[in-house]
């Protein structure tokens, strides 16, 4: 029964079709200053496509008003399990019955203790008792409280049930001035933990190698040819594959993105280095996703010292860089267990036509093509509008966050493997 969720559906915009699209989350607020930070994490989950409903302890409402949380979720907030008007809206167990995940954030020492003891004397603990779904706990408290043996005993007891999962706490300066573990995990960390718990594990046991970011082809120690790629698309694919159970190796050019958790990171600079890394790390891969924006040319001569200005006309002779994906495709051609090969095509015109040409020329299973001239679909954006081109099928996806595009690509990869009988 999902009566509470059906009653208060929140329509999704085109930007909200993220990895959590359609998932139903109950967010339980404990009473602490970190409730303000938890609101940011909740908003990220809503933006990611989740339908979120919230419950708050009485103490939590003294830090963040229920109207604030209602504005973020688009649904009334449960604060009293026996208050007549709220009982008419929800029924005090409706949230529990309709949930895919319960998030307790911030989870104070008191809330953790009451959940561990099986108490149900407020909106949050009652919901925690009644849910049958997984529970994600994000502790937030003073360092002395977190390190107290009684709190640690409660945490370990919840872990042992197999249904309670923890994210954080982080270490650092606390609101009361102490320093140490006890800070609520960062909102992005909480979001990633939610995604991980709610993602299908359909890629379990597979090795997936992903390339990402730009390459740099140096003229001298301070100048190079490159492109504006930030690596976001490739990193999103790597993170999504890891969430879905795969062993992931990420071959990355220079980017400013933080390394994804649980992913083996191999840093490269040039196309030549990327080729060597691909041949080494993807030789036994089940899937090879070539999302890197590889520079097609490099200076024919690389100078050991910085080139100085010269009088008169100057020119640089260029040569082609190795075609990483084509070389790898040729290397694995004819294998009985040939990996699924996914290429990317960043185009400025005739997107689908060029993608089909790349698909055939490099013997690929799938090409992800986009028009980098579009304002919301080019380099450096958080969204993308792509066309998935396979030998027998073309799928045009709407504008979506790159995190959602990553899952759409992996959905197609899983379907290709199933078609092979793998």
Residue 323 marked in a binding site: yes
Work out the number of other CB atoms within 10 angstroms of the CB of residue 306: 10
Reduced 3-state DSSP string for the chain: CCHHHHHCCCCCCHHHCCCCCCCEEEEEECCCCCHHHHHHHHHHHHHCCCEEEEEECCCHHHCCCHHHHHHHHCCCCECCCCCHHHHHHCCCCHHHHCCCEEEEEEECHHHHHHHHHCCCCCHHHHHHHHCCCCEEEEECCCHHHHHCHHHHHHHHHHHHCCCEEECCCEEEECCCCCEEEEECCCHHHHHHHHHHHHCCCCCCCCEEEEEECECCEEEECCEEECCCCCCHHHHHHHHHHHHCCCEEEEEECCCCCCCCCCCEEEECCCHHHHHHHHHHHCCCCCEEEECCECCCEEECCCCCCCCCCCCCCCCCCEEECCCHHHHHHHHHCCCCCCCEEEEEEEECCCHHHHHHHHHHHCCCCEEEEEECCCCCCCCCCCEECEEEEECCEEEECCCEEHHHHHHHHHHHHHHHHHHHCC
Angle 324-332/271-281 helices, nearest 10 degrees? 30
> Out of 227, 283, 370, 384, which one is annotated catalytic?
227
Asked whether residue 344 is marked as a ligand-binding residue, the answer is yes
**Cβ-based neighbour number of residue 273 at 10 Å:** 17
Q: Is 324 annotated as a binding residue?
A: yes
| 358 labelled binding-site residue | yes
* 142 among known catalytic residues: no
Distance of CA 45 to the CA centre of its chain: 11
Q: Which of 157, 176, 177, 175 is nearest to 166 (CA)?
A: 157
Evaluate whether 324 touches 294 at the Cβ level (below 8 Å).
Answer: yes
Question: Which residues are the active-site residues?
Answer: 227
Q: Where is the binding site, in residues?
A: 296, 306, 322-325, 344, 358, 362
Q: Where is the binding site for CTP, in residues?
A: 296, 306, 322-325, 344, 358, 362
């Amino acid at each position: 029964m999902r009566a509470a969720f059906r009653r208060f559906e929140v329509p999704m915009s085109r930007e909200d079709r993220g990895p959590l699209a359609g998932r139903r989350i109950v967010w339980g607020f404990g009473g602490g200053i970190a409730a303000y930070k938890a609101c940011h994490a909740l908003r990220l989950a809503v933006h990611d496509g989740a339908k979120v409903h919230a419950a708050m302890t009485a103490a939590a409402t003294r830090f963040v008003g229920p109207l604030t949380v209602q504005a973020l979720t688009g649904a009334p907030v449960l604060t009293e399990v026996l208050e007549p008007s709220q009982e008419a809206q929800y029924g005090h167990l409706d949230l529990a019955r309709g949930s895919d995940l319960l998030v307790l954030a911030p989870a104070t020492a008191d809330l953790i203790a009451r959940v561990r003891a099986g108490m149900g004397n407020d909106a949050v603990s009652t919901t925690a008792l009644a849910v049958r779904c997984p529970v994600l706990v994000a502790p937030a408290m003073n360092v002395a409280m977190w390190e107290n043996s009684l709190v640690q005993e409660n945490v370990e007891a919840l872990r042992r049930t197999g249904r309670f999962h923890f994210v954080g706490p982080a270490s650092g300066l606390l609101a009361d001035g102490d320093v140490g573990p006890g800070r609520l995990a960062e909102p992005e960390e909480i979001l990633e933990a939610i995604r991980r718990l709610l993602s299908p594990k359909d890629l379990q046991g597979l090795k997936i190698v992903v390339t990402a970011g730009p390459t740099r082809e140096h003229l001298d120690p301070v100048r190079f040819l490159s492109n504006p790629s930030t690596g976001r698309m490739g990193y999103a694919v790597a993170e999504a594959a890891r969430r879905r159970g795969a062993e992931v190796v990420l071959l990355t050019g220079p980017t400013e993105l933080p390394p994804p958790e649980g992913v083996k990171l191999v840093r490269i600079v040039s196309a030549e280095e990327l080729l060597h890394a691909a041949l080494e790390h993807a030789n036994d891969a089940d899937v090879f996703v070539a999302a890197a924006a590889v520079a097609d040319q490099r200076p024919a001569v690389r100078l050991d010292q910085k080139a100085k200005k010269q009088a008169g006309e100057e020119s640089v002779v260029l040569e082609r860089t190795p075609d990483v994906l084509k070389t790898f495709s040729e290397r694995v051609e004819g294998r009985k267990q040939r990996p699924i090969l996914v290429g990317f095509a960043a185009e400025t015109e005739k997107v689908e036509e060029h993608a089909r040409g790349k698909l055939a020329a490099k013997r690929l299973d799938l090409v992800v093509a986009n028009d980098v001239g579009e304002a919301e679909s080019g380099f450096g954006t958080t969204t993308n509008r792509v066309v998935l081109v396979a030998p027998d099928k073309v799928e045009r996806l709407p504008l979506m966050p790159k995190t959602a595009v990553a899952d759409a690509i992996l959905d197609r990869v899983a379907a290709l493997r199933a078609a092979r009988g793998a």
